[in-house]
C-alpha cells in the first residue's frame, strides 16, 4: 500500500505542475494570437509586403507549435490523472472499499455451479477485487476464467506469466492507462465483431464501382469547374449550358449513392460507438508490442500481434482512420454530420471509396480481429491478476496436484475480508470419498469458511494466488448449494430449488468427473423431522458414491451419525458466552461443536426464552 500512496503523492505534485504549465501556456497562446493579428494588420496597412510575406507563415508555424506543445502537456496531465486514479483504486481495494468498482453484474447467473454462492460477481465480489481490465472483451474473459477451472498445464503457464507481470508495476499501470483513454460504456464489442465478420457487399463488383466513381468524379469536377467558369466570366449572360452538365452529373451521382446508401449507413451505425474499442485495442497492442517478456506464455500471446512483418496495431490503425473519416458522413440516426463531406460526396462519390476500403480491410483482417481482441484480453486479465498478486504479497501460488481429490491450505483466509479482520485456518482434505462435516453455533463462521475454501479454490484453478501461506490443490469441478432462493416467476420455492441443486450434484458425481462440493445447511426449507431424515440419507448416499466435499450444519444429531464413519471427518466452530456476551474466535477445530448460542442470540433480540418447555406446553 505504501508504494501506491507514494505514487499518489508524486502524481498529485505532477498534476499541479502540469496544470500550472498549461494555464501559463494558454495565456501565452492567447497573447501570441493577439500579437500576431495586430502585427499582420499593421504590416498590411503599411504595405510592408516583404515583411508580411515572412511574418504570416512564421505566425502560423509558431501558433501551430504552441498548440502542439499544449496538446502534449494536456496528454501528460491526462496520463497522470489516470495513473492517480489507478493507484487510488488499488488503495481502495486494500481497504475493502469496492463501492465505485464495476461489479460484473451482467455475469451473475443463479444456475452457475458456484458463482452466486461465492460472491464471484456482484457487490463486494471477487470480480471487483481482481478486475483491472478496460475493455468489454477483457471483462468477459476475466468472467470466463472466474467461472470455470483451467487445466493444470494452463494454470502453470498463467502462474509463470503472472509472476513476471507482478514485478512490472510501471508497465502494467501504463498498459491500463492505454486502455482507460478509450473506455466507452456505450460500445458493444460483440456488435463490432459481428460487423467485421459480415461479408462485403461491393467487393464482388469492385472494378465496376471503382471505375464508375473515378469517371463520375472526373466528370463532376469538370462540370463544377465549367459552372464556376460561367459564373465568373458570363455572369451577365449566364446560360443554361453551364448548369446542365453539373445537374446531370450530380443526378447520376445521386443514383449511385442511393444504391450504396444503406451499406454506408450500416457501416457508420455499426461502428459509431465502437471506434473507441478499436482505438483502445490499438493503444493496448502498441504497449504490448514494444515490451520484452521472459515468460514463454507471454511471448506466445504477444506474437499474435506481429507475424511476418504483419502488425496488428498498424492494421487496426488503418481501419480506425478509414472509419473516422467515414463518420463525417453521418446517418439519419446519428448526429455530427459534416456538411463539407456531403458536398464532396455528391461530387466525388466518397461513399463508394470508403465502403470499398472498409470491405477490403474486412476481407484481409476479419479472421484476425477476434484473435487480436482475445490476445489483448488475455494480457488485460493476466495484468489484473498480477496487480492482485502484487497488492497481496503474502498470498501464495498453489501447487497443482496430478492426482484428483486433494485440498490442502495452510493459514487460509477469506480474500474479501480486510487483512486486519481476517482469521486464517488450516484445512486438509484428501482422497476420493472423503467428506468434511462442519458444525457450529449461529454466526460462528461456518458459511464464511465454506466460501473461504471455495473462493481460494476458484483463485487457484484460474492461475491466481490464494489467500493462504501455502496451498496444494487438485484440478476439480466445484459445485455448491448454499444460497437457494424462491423463484416466483417459475413458481419454485427455495426448498425445491435446493432439491434441484442436489439433483444436479448427484448427476455430476455419477459422471465420475472429479467434483468438489460444498453444501450449507441442507434442507433448511422443510420441517425438522424431514430435514434430519433427508440429511442423514444424503450423507449416506454421498459417502457410498465416494463423493468429495464439505457439509455444514447446525444439526448436531446429523454430525453424531457420522462419528463412526471413517470417510467423514468432523470439524467445528465454537463460541463462548462470558457475562451474557457471545464471543467468536472463528477458529476451525476438530470434532463436533460443543456449545449452543441460538437462545442467547434470541434473548438479545428481545425474545423471552422459556426455560422449561415441557411445563409450559404439557402433552
The predicted-structure confidence for 338-369, as pLDDT tens digits, reads as follows 778 888 888 888 888 888 988 899 888 888 88
Q: How far apart are the first and last CA of the chain?
A: 64
Q: What is the DSSP-derived secondary structure letter of residue 151?
A: P
For position 407, what pLDDT does the model report? Answer: 96
Band the pLDDT of 234: cuts 50, 70, 90.
low
Cell representation of residue 21: 504549465
Q: How far is residue 430's CA from residue 567's CA, in Å, rounded to a whole number?
A: 10
Residues in the chain, overall count = 619
Residue for grid cell 493496448: 284
Q: Which residues contact 394 (CB under 8 A, 6 or more apart)?
A: 469
Band the pLDDT of 491: cuts 50, 70, 90.
very low
User: pLDDT digits over 253-304, tens only?
Assistant: 888 888 888 888 888 877 777 788 888 999 999 999 999 999 999 999 999 9
Q: How far is residue 292's CA from residue 533's CA, in Å, rounded to a whole number?
A: 62
Buried b (16+ CB within 10 A) or exposed e, 418-441: eeeebbbbebebeeeebbbbbbbb
User: pLDDT digits over 86-98, tens only?
Assistant: 999 999 999 999 9
Buried b (16+ CB within 10 A) or exposed e, 383-398: bbbbbbbbbbeebbbb
pTM: 0.87
Task: Give yes or no for a contact between 357 and 322, defined as CB atoms under 8 angstroms apart.
Answer: yes
**Domain 399-616's class?**
alpha beta
**Neighbour count for residue 216 (Cβ, 10 Å):** 20
For position 224, what pLDDT does the model report? Answer: 82
For position 488, what pLDDT does the model report? Answer: 41
Task: Give yes or no for a contact between 297 and 158, defined as CB atoms under 8 angstroms apart.
Answer: yes
Q: What is the DSSP-derived secondary structure letter of residue 303?
A: G
How do the domains of the chain map onto residue ranges?
Answer: 1-95, 189-292+308-376, 399-616
Flag whether pLDDT at 562 surpasses 90: no
Flag whether pLDDT at 577 surpasses 70: no
Amino acid at each position: 500500500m505504501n508504494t501506491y500512496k507514494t505514487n499518489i503523492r508524486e502524481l498529485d505534485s505532477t498534476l499541479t505542475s502540469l496544470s500550472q504549465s498549461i494555464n501559463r501556456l494558454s495565456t501565452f497562446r492567447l497573447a501570441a494570437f493577439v500579437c500576431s493579428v495586430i502585427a499582420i494588420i499593421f504590416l498590411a496597412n503599411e504595405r510592408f509586403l516583404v515583411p508580411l510575406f515572412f511574418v504570416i507563415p512564421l505566425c502560423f508555424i509558431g501558433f501551430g507549435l504552441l498548440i502542439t506543445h499544449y496538446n502534449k502537456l494536456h496528454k501528460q496531465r491526462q496520463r497522470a490523472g489516470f495513473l492517480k486514479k489507478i493507484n487510488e483504486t488499488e488503495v481502495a481495494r486494500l481497504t475493502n472499499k469496492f463501492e465505485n468498482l464495476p461489479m460484473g453484474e451482467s455475469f451473475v447467473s443463479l444456475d452457475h455451479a458456484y458463482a452466486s454462492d461465492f460472491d464471484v460477481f456482484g457487490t463486494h465480489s471477487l470480480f471487483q477485487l481482481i478486475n483491472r481490465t478496460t475493455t468489454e472483451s477483457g471483462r468477459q474473459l476475466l468472467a470466463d476464467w472466474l467461472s470455470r477451472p483451467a487445466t493444470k498445464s494452463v494454470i502453470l503457464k498463467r502462474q509463470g506469466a503472472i509472476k513476471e507481470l507482478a514485478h512490472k508495476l510501471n508497465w502494467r499501470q501504463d498498459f491500463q492507462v492505454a486502455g482507460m483513454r478509450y473506455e466507452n460504456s456505450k460500445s458493444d464489442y460483440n456488435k463490432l465483431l459481428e460487423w467485421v465478420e459480415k461479408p462485403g457487399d461491393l467487393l464482388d463488383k469492385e472494378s465496376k464501382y471503382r471505375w464508375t466513381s473515378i469517371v463520375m468524379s472526373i466528370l463532376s469536377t469538370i462540370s463544377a469547374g465549367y459552372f464556376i467558369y460561367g459564373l465568373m466570366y458570363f455572369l451577365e449572360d449566364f446560360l443554361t449550358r453551364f448548369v446542365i452538365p453539373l445537374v446531370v452529373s450530380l443526378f447520376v451521382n445521386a443514383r449511385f449513392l442511393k444504391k450504396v446508401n444503406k451499406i454506408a449507413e450500416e457501416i457508420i451505425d455499426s461502428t459509431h460507438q465502437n471506434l473507441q474499442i478499436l482505438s483502445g485495442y490499438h493503444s493496448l497492442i502498441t504497449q504490448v508490442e514494444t515490451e520484452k517478456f521472459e515468460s514463454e506464455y507471454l511471448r506466445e500471446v504477444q506474437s499474435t500481434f506481429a507475424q511476418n512483418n504483419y502488425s496488428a496495431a498498424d492494421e487496426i490503425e488503418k481501419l480506425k482512420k478509414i472509419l473516422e473519416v467515414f463518420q463525417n458522413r453521418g446517418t439519419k440516426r446519428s448526429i455530427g454530420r459534416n456538411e463539407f463531406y456531403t458536398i464532396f460526396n455528391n461530387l466525388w462519390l466518397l461513399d463508394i471509396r470508403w465502403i470499398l476500403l472498409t470491405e477490403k480491410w474486412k476481407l484481409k483482417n476479419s479472421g484476425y480481429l477476434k484473435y487480436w481482441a482475445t490476445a489483448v484480453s488475455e494480457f488485460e486479465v493476466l495484468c489484473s491478476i498480477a496487480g492482485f498478486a502484487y497488492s497481496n504479497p503474502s498470498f501464495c501460488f498453489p501447487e497443482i496436484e496430478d492426482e484428483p481429490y486433494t485440498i490442502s491450505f495452510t493459514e487460509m483466509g477469506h480474500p474479501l475480508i480486510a487483512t486486519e479482520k481476517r482469521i486464517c485456518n488450516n484445512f486438509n482434505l484428501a482422497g476420493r470419498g472423503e467428506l468434511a462435516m462442519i458444525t457450529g453455533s449461529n454466526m460462528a463462521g461456518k458459511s464464511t469458511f465454506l466460501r473461504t475454501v471455495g473462493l481460494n479454490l476458484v483463485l487457484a484453478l484460474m492461475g491466481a494466488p490464494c489467500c493462504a501461506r501455502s496451498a496444494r490443490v487438485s484440478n476439480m469441478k466445484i459445485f455448491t448449494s448454499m444460497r437457494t432462493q424462491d423463484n416466483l416467476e417459475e413458481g419454485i420455492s427455495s426448498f425445491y430449488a435446493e432439491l434441484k441443486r442436489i439433483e444436479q450434484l448427484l448427476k455430476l458425481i455419477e459422471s465420475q468427473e472429479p467434483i468438489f462440493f460444498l453444501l450449507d445447511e441442507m434442507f433448511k426449507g422443510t420441517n425438522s423431522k424431514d430435514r434430519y431424515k433427508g440429511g442423514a440419507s444424503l450423507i449416506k448416499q454421498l459417502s457410498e458414491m465416494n463423493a468429495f466435499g464439505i457439509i455444514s450444519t447446525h444439526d448436531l444429531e446429523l454430525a453424531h451419525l457420522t462419528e463412526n464413519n471413517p470417510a467423514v471427518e468432523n470439524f467445528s466452530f465454537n463460541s463462548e458466552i462470558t457475562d451474557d456476551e457471545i464471543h467468536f474466535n472463528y477458529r476451525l477445530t476438530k470434532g463436533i461443536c460443543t456449545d449452543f448460542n441460538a437462545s442467547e442470540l434470541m434473548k438479545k433480540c428481545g425474545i423471552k426464552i422459556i426455560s422449561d418447555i415441557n411445563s409450559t406446553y404439557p402433552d
